[in-house]
Chain A
Amino acid sequence: MISANLAAIFYLVSGILFILALRGLSSPDTSRQGNYFGIAGMIIAIVVTFLSIGNFSTSLVIVVIFLVIGGAIGSFIAFKIPMTAMPELVAGFHSLVGLAAVFVAIAAFLNPAAFNLGNLGDIKLASLIEMSIGAAVGAITFSGSIIAFLKLRGIMSGAPITFSGQHILNLILGIGIFVLIFYLCKTQSTNIFWTVIIISFLVGVLLIIPIGGADMPVVISMLNSYSGWAAAGIGFTLENTALIITGALVGSSGAILSYIMCKAMNRSFVSVILGGFGADNSTDDKKEKKDQKPVKSGNAEDAAFLMKNASSIIIVPGYGMAVAQAQHALREMVDKLKKNDIKVTYAIHPVAGRMPGHMNVLLAEANVPYDEVFELEDINNDFANSDVAFVIGANDVTNPVAKTDPKSPIFGMPVLDVEKCKSVLFVKRSLSPGYAGIDNELFYKDNTLMLFADAKKMTEDIVKNLD
Chain B
Amino acid sequence: MEIDPFIFRLSIFILSIFIGYYVVWSVTPSLHTPLMSVTNAISSVIIVGAIIAALAGTSESIFNTSSIFGFIAIILAAINIFGGFLVTQRMLQMYKKKKDKKK
Check if A and B associate: yes
Give chain A's interface residues, CB within 8 Å of chain B.
11, 14-15, 18-19, 21-23, 25-29, 31-32, 34-35, 38-39, 41-42, 45-46, 49-50, 53, 55, 57-60, 62-63, 66-75, 77-79, 81, 83, 86, 89-90, 93-94, 96-97, 99-101, 103-104, 106-108, 110-111, 113-115, 126, 220-221, 224, 227-228, 231-232, 234-254, 256-257, 260, 348, 350, 355-358, 360-361, 364-365, 367-371, 373, 375
Given the interface pairs A26-B27, A100-B50, A243-B45, the reply to whether A75 lies near B83 with Cβ below 8 Å is yes
Contacts of B74 in A (CB 8 A): 63, 66-67, 70
| Chain A residue nearest in CB terms to B5 | A239
| B 1-45 contacts with A by CB, 8 A | 5-6, 9, 12-14, 16-17, 19-21, 23-45
Inter-subunit contact B31/A21 (CB<8 Å): no
| Contacts known (A29-B99, A97-B43, A252-B21); A57 close to B59, Cβ less than 8 A | yes
Closest to A227 in B: B43
Check B79–A103 contact: CB distance below 8 A.
no
Whole-angstrom distance between the alpha carbons of A326 and B9 in the complex?
49
What are 26 A-B residue pairs whose CB atoms fall within 8 Å in the complex?
Answer: A22-B27, A28-B28, A28-B31, A31-B95, A35-B85, A45-B47, A59-B55, A69-B75, A70-B76, A70-B81, A73-B83, A104-B49, A107-B49, A107-B50, A242-B48, A244-B13, A248-B16, A252-B17, A252-B21, A253-B24, A254-B39, A357-B29, A361-B91, A364-B30, A368-B98, A369-B101
Q: With A71-B82, A252-B24 given, is the CB distance from A90 to B40 under 8 Å? A: yes
How far apart sit A252 and B97, CA to CA, in the bound complex (Å)?
A: 30
B26 and A26 within 8 A (CB): yes
User: How many Å lie between the Cα of A125 and that of B11 in the bound state?
Assistant: 20
Secondary structure call for the B interface: helix
Answer whether A25 and B38 are a contact pair too, CB < 8 Å, given A42-B85, A69-B75: yes
Which of B20, B45, B73, B76 is the one whose CB lies under 8 Å from A231? B45
Residue of B nearest to A67 (CB): B78
In the docked arrangement, what's the CA distance between A348 and B36, Å? 18
Q: Is the CB of B30 within 8 A of A55?
A: no
Enumerate chain B residues within 8 angstroms of A249, measured Cβ to Cβ.
16, 19-20, 23-24, 39, 42
Whether B92 lies near A100 (C-beta < 8 A) is no
A11: which B residues are within 8 A, CB to CB?
48
Would you call B70 and A357 a contact (CB within 8 A)? no
Decide: B76 and A103 in contact? CB cutoff 8 A.
yes
Most buried by A among B54, B59, B78: B78
Which residues of B lie under 8 Å from residue A251 when comparing CB positions? 17, 20
How far, in angstroms, from A90 to B37 measured CA to CA in the complex? Answer: 6
Interchain CB contact under 8 A, B9 and A94: no
Extra 14 A-B pairs, beta carbons < 8 Å, given A97-B80, A252-B24: A23-B23, A31-B92, A45-B45, A59-B59, A70-B82, A71-B82, A107-B49, A107-B54, A107-B73, A248-B19, A257-B35, A348-B30, A364-B30, A364-B98
Measured CB to CB, the nearest residue on chain B to A237 is B49
Q: Which of B23, B75, B91, B93 contacts A22 (CB 8 A)?
A: B23
Q: How far is the CA of A110 from the CA of B56 in the complex (A)?
A: 11
Rounded to whole angstroms, the CA-CA distance of A257 and B23 in the bound complex is 12
Q: Which residues of A contact B41 (CB under 8 A)?
A: 38, 42
Q: Which of B31, B49, B99 has the most CB of A within 10 A?
A: B49
Which residues of the partner chain B approach A103 to less than 8 Å between Cβ atoms? Answer: 50, 69-70, 72-73, 76
Q: Say which residue of B35, B72, B81, B101 sits within 8 Å of A357 (CB atoms).
A: B35
Distance A83 CA – B39 CA, assembled complex (angstroms): 18
Shortest Cβ distance from residue B82 to the other chain A in the assembled complex, whole angstroms = 3
* Residue of A whose beta carbon sits closest to that of B41: A38
Alpha-carbon gap, A74 to B75, bound state (A): 9
Question: What CA separation (Å) do A78 and B89 show in the bound complex?
Answer: 9
For the complex, what is the distance from the CA of A197 to the CA of B19, rounded to whole Å? Answer: 31
Inter-subunit contact B42/A38 (CB<8 Å): yes
User: What distance in Å separates the Cβ of B65 from its nearest Cβ neighbour in chain A?
Assistant: 6
Say yes or no: B62 contacts A59, CB within 8 Å: yes
Q: Which residues of chain B come closer than 8 Å to A240, judged between CB atoms?
A: 48-49
Most buried by B among A26, A50, A59, A370: A59
When chains A and B are docked, how far (Å) is the Cα of A81 from the Cα of B91? 11
Which residues of the partner chain B approach A369 to less than 8 Å between Cβ atoms?
98-99, 101-102
Nearest Cβ distance between residue A421 and chain B, in whole angstroms? Answer: 23
Query: Across chains A and B, which 9 residue pairs bring their CB atoms closest together, nearest first?
Result: A70-B78, A357-B32, A114-B56, A74-B82, A74-B83, A111-B66, A252-B20, A248-B16, A107-B53
Report which of B25, B51, B89 forms a contact with A46, defined as CB distance below 8 A. B51
* B17–A248 CB distance below 8 A: yes
Whether A100 touches B33, Cβ cut-off 8 Å, given contacts A39-B85, A365-B94, is no
Indicate which residue in B29, B37, B79 contacts A350 across the interface (CB closer than 8 Å): B29
User: Which A residues touch B57, using CB under 8 A?
Assistant: 59
Q: How far is the CA of A246 from the CA of B47 in the complex (A)?
A: 12
- In the complex the two chains form, is A32's CB within 8 Å of B93's CB? yes
Interface centre among B40, B45, B76, B81 (most CB of A within 10 A): B45
Known contacts: A42-B45, A100-B50, A250-B43. The answer to whether A356 contacts B13 by CB under 8 A is no
> How far is the CB of A115 from the nearest CB of chain B, in Å?
6
